[in-house]
Amino acid sequence: MALLKPTRPGPAIATDRKWALSFAVGVVGIFLGYQFVVPHLPYQVASFVDDWLPLTALNEASVYVILALGLNIVVGYAGLLDLGFVAFWAIGGYVVGWLMSGFFDSARVNILGHPPIGLPNGVHISFWLVLLIAGAFCALWGVIIGWPTLRLKSDYLALVTLGFGEIIPQVFVNGEDINGFNLSNGSKGITPVDGIDLFGKLLGPFDLAFKFLIYAGIAAFVVLLSLRLREGRLGRAWLAIREDELAASMMGVPLRKTKLAAYAVGAFSGGLGGAAFATQVNGVFAERFNFSISIILLAMVVLGGMGNVWGVIIGALVLAWINSTGLVQFGQTFNNAFGTQINFPSYNFLLFGIILILMMLFRREGLIPERRTKLLLREPERGQMTALGAEAELVAAEEAIHTQTDPPSEGKLATQTDDAGMGVDAPQSGDSTEGGRS
Amino acid sequence: MTDAIRATDITVSFGGLVAVNAVTFTVPERSVVSLIGPNGAGKTTFFNVLTGLYKPDSGVVEFQDRDVTGLPPHRIAEAGLARTFQNIRLFGLMTAEENVMVAMHSQLKAGVIATLLRTRVQKREEAQARDRARELLDFVGISHTRDEYARNLSYGDQRRLEVARALALQPKVLLLDEPTAGMNPQESARFVEFIYRLREERDTAVLLIEHDMSVVMRVSERITVLDRGEKIAEGTAEQVRSDTRVIEAYLGTGAAGSAGL
Residue A399: band (very low, low, confident or very high) from pLDDT cuts 50, 70, 90: low
Give the three-state DSSP class for A197: strand
Give residue A16's pLDDT: 84
Q: Determine whether the interchain pair B91/A224 forms a contact, defined as Cβ–Cβ distance below 8 Å.
A: no
Q: Determine whether the interchain pair A254/B74 forms a contact, defined as Cβ–Cβ distance below 8 Å.
A: yes
Give residue A384's pLDDT: 57
Residue B249: band (very low, low, confident or very high) from pLDDT cuts 50, 70, 90: confident
Q: Determine whether the interchain pair B153/A228 forms a contact, defined as Cβ–Cβ distance below 8 Å.
A: no
Give residue B243's pLDDT: 85
Q: What percent of chain A has pLDDT over 70?
A: 82
Report the gap between the CA of A320 and the closest CA in chain B (Å): 28
DSSP state of A78: S
Asked if the model's pLDDT at residue A412 lies above 80, the reply is no
Could you tell me if A289 and A396 lie in one domain? Answer: no
Determine how many CB atoms are found less than 10 A away from the CB of residue A115: 18
Q: Which of A117-121, A331-335, B125-129 has the lowest mean pLDDT?
A: A117-121
Chain pair A-B, CB pairs under 8 angstroms: 166
Give the three-state DSSP class for B223: strand
Could you tell me if A247 and A342 lie in one domain? Answer: yes
Could you tell me if A275 and A388 lie in one domain? Answer: no
DSSP state of A187: G
Report the gap between the CA of A110 and the closest CA in chain B (Å): 29
Give residue A70's pLDDT: 96
Which residue in B87, B108, B168 is closest to A429 by CB distance?
B87
Q: What percent of chain A has pLDDT over 90?
A: 49
Could you tell me if A372 and A408 lie in one domain? Answer: no
Q: Give the integer Cα–Cα distance in Å for B219 and B179.
A: 13
DSSP state of B51: T
Asked if the model's pLDDT at residue A433 lies above 50, the reply is no
Residue A400: band (very low, low, confident or very high) from pLDDT cuts 50, 70, 90: low
Answer with the one of A377, A395, A411 that is the final residue of a domain.
Answer: A377
Considering the entire predicted model, what is its pTM?
0.85
Could you tell me if A338 and A367 lie in one domain? Answer: yes
Nearest Cα residue to B41 out of B225, B228, B212: B228
Could you tell me if A258 and A396 lie in one domain? Answer: no
Section A298-308 average pLDDT: 88
Express each pLDDT in A337-388 by its tens digit.
998 888 888 888 888 888 888 888 888 778 877 767 666 666 666 555 555 5
Residue A305: band (very low, low, confident or very high) from pLDDT cuts 50, 70, 90: confident
Could you tell me if A98 and A128 lie in one domain? Answer: yes
A435 CB neighbours in chain B (<8 A) are 182
Q: Is residue A12 part of a domain?
A: no
Q: From 3.40.50.300, 3.30.450.40, 3.40.50.1820, 3.40.1500.10, which CATH number describes the B1-80+171-261 domain?
A: 3.40.50.300
Q: Give the integer Cα–Cα distance in Å for A217 and A203.
A: 16
Express each pLDDT in A40-74 by its tens digit.
889 999 889 888 999 999 999 999 999 999 999 99
Packing angle of the helix pair A255-280, A86-99 (nearest 10 deg): 50
Is any Cβ of chain B less than 8 angstroms from the Cβ of A232? yes
Q: Determine whether the interchain pair B115/A234 forms a contact, defined as Cβ–Cβ distance below 8 Å.
A: yes
Q: Determine whether the interchain pair B95/A9 forms a contact, defined as Cβ–Cβ distance below 8 Å.
A: yes
The answer for residues whose C-beta is within 8 angstroms of residue B74's C-beta and 6 or more apart is: A249, A250, A251, A252, A253, A254, A255, B106
Could you tell me if A264 and A394 lie in one domain? Answer: no
Radius of gyration of chain B (CA): 19
DSSP H or E stretch at residue A243: helix A233-243
Domain range enclosing A410: 382-425
Phi, psi of A305 (to 5 degrees): 125, 100
Phi, psi of B162 (to 5 degrees): -60, -40
Q: Give the integer Cα–Cα distance in Å for A184 and A179.
A: 13
**Residue in chain A lying closest to B93 (CA):** A372
Could you tell me if A272 and A370 lie in one domain? Answer: yes
Q: Determine whether the interchain pair B51/A265 forms a contact, defined as Cβ–Cβ distance below 8 Å.
A: no
* Widest Cα–Cα separation across chain A: 89
Report the gap between the CA of B74 and the closest CA in chain A (Å): 4
Q: Determine whether the interchain pair B151/A261 forms a contact, defined as Cβ–Cβ distance below 8 Å.
A: no
Determine how many CB atoms are found less than 10 A away from the CB of residue A111: 11
Express each pLDDT in B211-247 by its tens digit.
888 888 888 999 999 988 899 989 998 888 888 888 8
Q: Determine whether the interchain pair B112/A425 forms a contact, defined as Cβ–Cβ distance below 8 Å.
A: no
Report the gap between the CA of B200 and the closest CA in chain A (Å): 23
Which residue in B78, B85, B153 is closest to A252 by CB distance?
B78
Express each pLDDT in A327-348 by its tens digit.
999 999 999 999 888 888 888 8
The answer for residues whose C-beta is within 8 angstroms of residue B148's C-beta and 6 or more apart is: A6, A7, A8, A9, B95, B96
Nearest Cα residue to A212 out of A55, A377, A82, A15: A55
Provide the chain A residues 323-382 that lie in CB contact (below 8 A) with chain B: 372-373, 375-376, 381-382
Provide the chain A residues 242-271 that lie in CB contact (below 8 A) with chain B: 243-244, 246-255, 261, 265
Residue A53 belongs to a domain with what CATH number? Answer: 1.10.3470
Q: Is residue A232 part of a domain?
A: yes
Express each pLDDT in B104-126 by its tens digit.
999 999 999 999 999 999 999 99
Q: Determine whether the interchain pair B155/A422 forms a contact, defined as Cβ–Cβ distance below 8 Å.
A: yes
Q: Which of A23-32, A219-228, A407-416 has the lowest mean pLDDT?
A: A407-416
Could you give the angle at the alpha carbon of A184 between the alpha carbons of A179 and A190, nearest 5°?
A: 145
Q: What percent of chain B has pLDDT over 70?
A: 95
The answer for residues whose C-beta is within 8 angstroms of residue A192's C-beta and 6 or more apart is: A101, A116, A205, A282, A283
Mutation site, A233, A234, A255, A403, interface B, largest B CB count within 10 A: A233
Where do runs of H (alpha helix) occur along chain B? 43-50, 73-79, 96-102, 112-117, 120-139, 155-167, 185-202, 213-219, 237-242, 244-246
Asked if the model's pLDDT at residue A98 lies above 60, the reply is yes
Q: How many domains does chain A have?
A: 2
Q: Which of A111-125, A308-322, B247-261 has the lowest mean pLDDT?
A: B247-261
The mean pLDDT value of chain A amounts to 83
Give residue A388's pLDDT: 54
Q: Is residue A1 part of a domain?
A: no
The answer for residues whose C-beta is within 8 angstroms of residue A328's C-beta and 6 or more apart is: A344, A345
Could you tell me if A297 and A333 lie in one domain? Answer: yes
A240 CB neighbours in chain B (<8 A) are 91, 94, 102
Could you tell me if A145 and A272 lie in one domain? Answer: yes
Report the gap between the CA of A125 and the closest CA in chain B (Å): 24
Provide the chain A residues 114-173 that lie in CB contact (below 8 A) with chain B: none
Give the three-state DSSP class for A77: helix
Give the three-state DSSP class for A179: coil
A244 CB neighbours in chain B (<8 A) are 89-92
Q: Is residue A6 part of a domain?
A: no
Peptide bond into A192 cis (omega under 30): yes
Express each pLDDT in B192-216 by its tens digit.
888 888 888 888 999 999 888 888 8
What is the ipTM score, two decimals? 0.91
Answer with the one of A377, A409, A433 that is the final residue of a domain.
Answer: A377
Give residue A25's pLDDT: 93
Which residue in A412, A425, A428 is closest to B144 by CB distance?
A412
Say which residue, A1 or A256, is predicted with more confidence.
A256
DSSP states of A116-152 as a string? PTT---EEEE-HHHHHHHHHHHHHHHHHHHHHHHTTS
| Residue ranges matching CATH 3.40.50.300 in chain B | 1-80+171-261
Q: Give the integer Cα–Cα distance in Å for A275 and A271.
A: 6
**Residue in chain B lying closest to A236 (CA):** B102
The answer for residues whose C-beta is within 8 angstroms of residue A163's C-beta and 6 or more apart is: A84
Give residue A261's pLDDT: 96
Instruction: Sort strands B58-63 and B3-14 into parallel, antiparallel or unpaired.
Output: antiparallel
